[in-house]
Amino acid sequence: MNLCIKKRFSKSPWQTAPYTYHEAMVSCDCHKWEETMEKELRSLRDMGVWESASNFNLKQALGCHWVYTVKKNQQGNVTCYKAELVVQGHQQIKELNFDERFALTLTFNSLQFLLTIVEALGWEIQMFDVTTAYLHSNLKHMIYVRVPQGATDMPKVLYGLKQAGRCWWNHLQNVLKKFDFQSNPEDPSTYTYNRADRKAILWVHIDDGVIGASSEQHCWHNNKKTDGGFELCQLALIRKLCSLDASNITASQPLPSMDLVSGKARTIDKDYLSWIGMILYVAQATSPDIMYAVNFLARFSMNTTDWHWMALDRLINYVQGTSTKSSILRPSHKQDVLNVFVDANWGGRGSRSQHGYVGLLWGAPIMWNSKKHTCISLSTCQAEYIAMLYASKECLWIGQGLIGIAGHFTPTLLSDNKAAIQIAGDSGSRKNSRQIRWEFHLKNELLMTNQIKI
């Protein structure tokens, strides 16, 4: 590998928080870590998750440890110290102390969708964080945990369990249903409240959330206890993603880009996949201009060479140079409700086409993607036809989310290939496109049912 590139990705001993309980106790901030650990233990006791046990098999007891985090603001200044007692979930055995563990996570398209709705309709917006979120849920299996350093009792439910995320997700679903919030079938991380006099959209990522509502009655304020028993505090994640003001919503470069461009963080030893993952996070959140580049570099994750590392370094330099640029969500009712621009090339590396699309909600970009096709196209018509399928699938969840909020509308797909448009509308001959897989004809049904138009 080139020497200058190798130096940039070399390892550094720099870290922001201790890794073990012993390191925390011998650090210069030991008194702060003691305070935050005591606060965490107090929260566990208040939530009723502590229970002493004497008759149990010690071999079935799981270990646990402290995880320390230093929270920083956008300027890089330390705002608080956080300590969490985490169970060593890798010791769990399936069917013995856990079964299902899948839990949904966020999509940035949903967040951009919510922010655009709030700006376009002039709604109120509030950001929140659920304190000790996982501790509200109950476990189906009896789990024992060995007493860690710094704790005095036997914990019953803690972070780190394989099923903890799913238990919290199920609990949150049940609570929101009681308040008439309905999840979007196409994107269950987004919830809508639709009444004649009040409407609201709720976006949740684990314990962080954003709510936009037509009135302040549905906006929860900081440090307020909700009717569902959740204690809310101010959310930091959304403030790192976006800058909110009265004139428009600006989607700034998210936190990972700041880690990429900072001198200390850039020297941390990260393998190729880790760097790709960090840049992909930036691309999905606020930077459609690098989506193709990061997807292209990701294809070589299993067989990297010096050339790939140099290309990755160049991409990081580009992120650094554009870190002050922002994506502004400024919707206008003069624009159509939803336009999706889609395009594709023909052939390319490996004889497979590449497509890309961007969706504009009232003229504001809320979704974008670039993807290599999984099958070979025999013409530009077929390549564009397949590309329209991927774009039309994205229109479904947006249309479902706008029902009852923006009234009835039909998303519009915009393509520059007349032959593909005619085949999609059943007005063109299919004798030269019969080899296209059946799943790519989904948009034909969407057209016939007036769910989209091209």
* Residue 107 pLDDT > 50: yes
143 touches 161 (CB < 8 A): yes
pLDDT digits (tens, 9 = 90+) for 171-197: 888 888 887 888 777 777 788 888 777
Taking only the tens place, the pLDDT of each residue in 49-61 is 766 666 666 666 7
Residue 305 has pLDDT above 60, yes or no: yes
**Interval 333-364: pLDDT, tens:** 766 788 889 988 887 676 788 888 998 888 88
Token representation of residue 5? 């590139």
Percentage of residues in the chain with pLDDT exceeding 90? 2
* Residue scoring higher pLDDT (383 or 137): 383
pLDDT at site 250: 56
Q: Would you state the structure tokens that stand for residue 351, as one six-digit string?
A: 């004889």
Structure tokens at 251: 């989607």
CA-CA distance, 232 to 93, in Å (whole number)?
34
- Tell me, what's the pLDDT at 1? 43
Kindly tell me if the per-residue pLDDT of 221 is higher than 70. no
Residue 253 pLDDT more than 60? no
Tell me the per-residue pLDDT of 6-49, one tens digit each, with 9 for 90 and over: 444 443 333 468 888 888 888 888 888 988 888 888 877 777 77
Mean pLDDT of 105-116: 80
pLDDT digits (tens, 9 = 90+) for 392-450: 887 777 766 666 676 667 788 888 888 888 777 665 555 555 555 555 556 666 666 66
Domain with CATH 3.30.420.10 in the chain: 331-448
pLDDT for the residue 269: 42
What is the value of pTM for the model shown? Answer: 0.70
pLDDT of 76 higher than 80: no
For the cut 70, the answer to whether the pLDDT of residue 139 exceeds it is yes
Alpha-carbon distance 189 to 136, whole Å? 18
Cα–Cα distance list, 402 to 150, 378, 405 (Å): 50, 37, 5
Cβ atoms 341, 411 nearer than 8 A? no
CATH architecture, range 331-448: 2-Layer Sandwich (3.30)
What share of the chain in percent tops pLDDT 70?
68
Q: Is the pLDDT assigned to residue 167 strictly greater than 60? A: yes
pLDDT at 203 over 80: yes
Q: Is the pLDDT of residue 241 over 60?
A: no
Residue 388 pLDDT exceeds 80:
yes
> Cα(135)–Cα(42) distance, rounded to whole angstroms?
12
User: Greater confidence, 114 or 137?
Assistant: 114
Work out the pLDDT band at 266, boundaries 50, 70, 90.
very low
- Whether 207 shows a pLDDT value over 60: the answer reads yes
d(CA 25, CA 21): 6
**Rounded Cα–Cα distance for residues 97 and 141 (Å):** 5
In the prediction, which pLDDT does 240 show? 46
What's the average model confidence in pLDDT over 147-153?
A: 54
Average pLDDT over residues 136-151: 68
Mean pLDDT on 383-394: 83
Model pLDDT, residue 147? 66
Task: Please choose, from the candidates 349, 347, 363, 372, the residue with its C-alpha nearest in 3D space to the C-alpha of residue 412.
Answer: 363
